[in-house]
Chains A and B, each alone.
Chain A
Amino acid sequence: MAAVFTPIAPRPAPIKTTGAAAWAKKNLFGNPLSTVATVVMIALALWLLPPLFQWAVVNAVVRPDADTCQAARGVGACWGVIVEKWRFIIFGRYPFDSQWRPELAVILLTGLLVVSCIRTFWKPWLAIVWIAVVPVFFWLMGGGFGLAHVPTDNWGGLPLTIMLATFGILFAFPLSILVALGRRSNMPAIRTLCVLYVELIRGVPLISVLFMASFLFPLFMPVGKSPDVLLRVLVGITLFAAAYLAEIVRGGLQAIPRGQVEAAATLGLSYWQTQRKIVLPQALALVVPGIMNSFIAIFKDTSLVTIVSLYELTGALGLALNSDANWRPFKIEGYIFIVLVYFVFCFAMSRYSLWVEKKLGASKNR
């Protein structure tokens, strides 16, 4: 007896799986724990957000008028302090009438950084642009060749933060790769040197490294021969960051199977060719989250240079408000402002890292 095939007509699913109600049911009230969490979060929001909104928006004073701000103290935010002091916060003690210079310098450097993050632009000309832009940056900041001289003591605010972070990262990253490779070297002298370097630097706080760079180092130099404080601090930050980065990179190196290096050897690749074409691309791809973690930390750690009298963003805020009794009470608003500035940069870095991870994951996707 032959079986007869009777097709079943398609029917809609019994439970709706699309639309807002279905989404909420699945994601917010999917199980008892999730329901409790949702209710608690809504309660917290209802409790906290309205007063915050009252303070930050409804009762806020935007006019740069100290008396009005004083009157609203405690009930409303004084955004006027930022309207009044933003130049000082962003550019520190840089001469007011030359302010276009750090503005332009920071736009140039940030623009170049953004461009450098995009793979399409990884061409030989990018290196030339860097070689051209870096001197222009320092020329704009420092003067000379027709521009008034501004000593590095007076550099400050966001340009200083970005500069220290950019060059710190730019020098620390290659150095960290060399140190990580050195720690795995067959040559005991190189290995010991790298281990000593990492352990010594990791054993001390960044503040003490900066202190040494700023105050101790000149004592060993002939009077007046000591390099600029900014340069010394930059070297300090670079050495400090590289030690941490080196350990992250080493973690990646350890994850590469020995067979990869052996295969490269049988193909006739030299040590450096093997590291460059085979080992590092794979090792660094594995540790992108850790590397970006360090980059973000470097960006924020630049705020510590305040203690050696370099007023980057955080330092410039203190300088701006402490020097003016009228505005001194409104530090919270000032801090919220620089928090936002820091957040924009750090969030951008973190999103970029996710994007890089996704790109590099391509070869692993089946």
Chain B
Amino acid sequence: MSATAAPIIVFDKVNKWYGDNFHVLRDIDLQVQQGERIVICGPSGSGKSTLIRCVNRLEEHQQGRLVVDGTELADDVKAIERVRKQVGMVFQQFNLFPHLTVLENLTLSPTWVGKMPKKDAEEKAMQQLKRVRIAEQANKYPLQLSGGQQQRVAIARALCLTPKIMLFDEPTSALDPEMIKEVLDVMVELANQGITMLCVTHEMGFAKAVANRVIFMDQGQIVEENNPHDFFDHPKSERTKDFLSKILGH
């Protein structure tokens, strides 16, 4: 992939407020190339989740331009629909649909939004479940699975859209320590398959292993961005050093 290709996500001076006074995103400038894997970290309340939630318009920005896969996100509903077809998302709390089986969770969007025949959708779903190594649980309900399994189902569900971009919003923060690895393993595999990833996480091992770029945010601003090697070994700003010493300190 050439570096001159048009970036798949462009934030151009994006600003967002919650209410009148909470300025959550401040002059965000960010370009993401196709196939890039970006890890976003920062203290809580720094705007990192809001940043990635703007990409599929779960949050709307109020100033600046945000272009995803050639489509500018504004109030145009059709544009939002188009972007959401290209963007898969994985949440901290999994957000699986508890009244549907694992398989139904996966086939819901392909059959209802993609108008795919049920049989094809199920076939595709099973492929994705195999990909996250959980095919044998297809007919169970989400609450019958462990947290790690549920998160892998959530990843498979997002993959059923065949998205160009995957957003991960603290995917391992709600998991028991021993389940974090099984989810990270799946994410590493995905990363190696060349999908564009934006990942909010504090798993620095994961960042070192797969990220092209690490972004550090604080108070709604991008404080520092760099390749993982330089980010962890030679952080430029004092704020970053302080943060890293806290999360890597023990």
Contact = CB atoms under 8 A, between A and B. Distances in A.
Given A268-B81, A363-B143, A263 B97 contact: yes
Contacts of A273: 112-113
A269 B112 contact: yes
A54 interface: no
A285 B99 contact: yes
A277 B95 contact: no
Contacts of A257: 93, 95
B97 A268 contact: no
A119 interface: no
Contact of A266 (B89, B100, B101): B89
Contacts of A199: none
B152 interface: no
B97 to A, nearest CB: 6
A111 interface: no
Contact of B95 (A259, A269, A285, A362): A259
Interface in A219-266: 257, 259-260, 262-266
Contacts of A263: 89, 91, 95-97
Interface residues of B, number: 28
A260 B100 CA distance: 12
Nearest to B145: A366
Interface in B191-236: none
Contact of B56 (A259, A266, A278, A366): A266
Contacts of B93: 257, 259
A268 B84 contact: yes
Contacts of B113: 267-269, 273
A364 B100 CA distance: 10
A281 interface: yes
Contact count band on A:
20 to 34
Interface string A313-356: 00000000000000000000000000000000000000000000
B87 A366 contact: no
A356 to B, nearest CB: 14
Contacts of B39: none
A269 to B, nearest CB: 6
A358 to B, nearest CB: 15
B98 interface: yes
Contact of B109 (A262, A268, A281, A360): A268
Interface of B: 56, 58, 81, 84-85, 87-89, 91, 93, 95-101, 108-109, 112-114, 141, 143-144, 157-158, 161
27 contacts: A257-B93, A257-B95, A259-B95, A262-B58, A263-B95, A263-B96, A263-B97, A264-B97, A265-B58, A266-B58, A266-B87, A266-B89, A267-B84, A267-B113, A267-B157, A268-B81, A269-B108, A269-B112, A273-B113, A278-B97, A282-B98, A362-B141, A363-B98, A363-B141, A364-B98, A366-B143, A366-B144
Interface of A: 257, 259-260, 262-269, 273, 277-278, 281-282, 285, 360, 362-364, 366
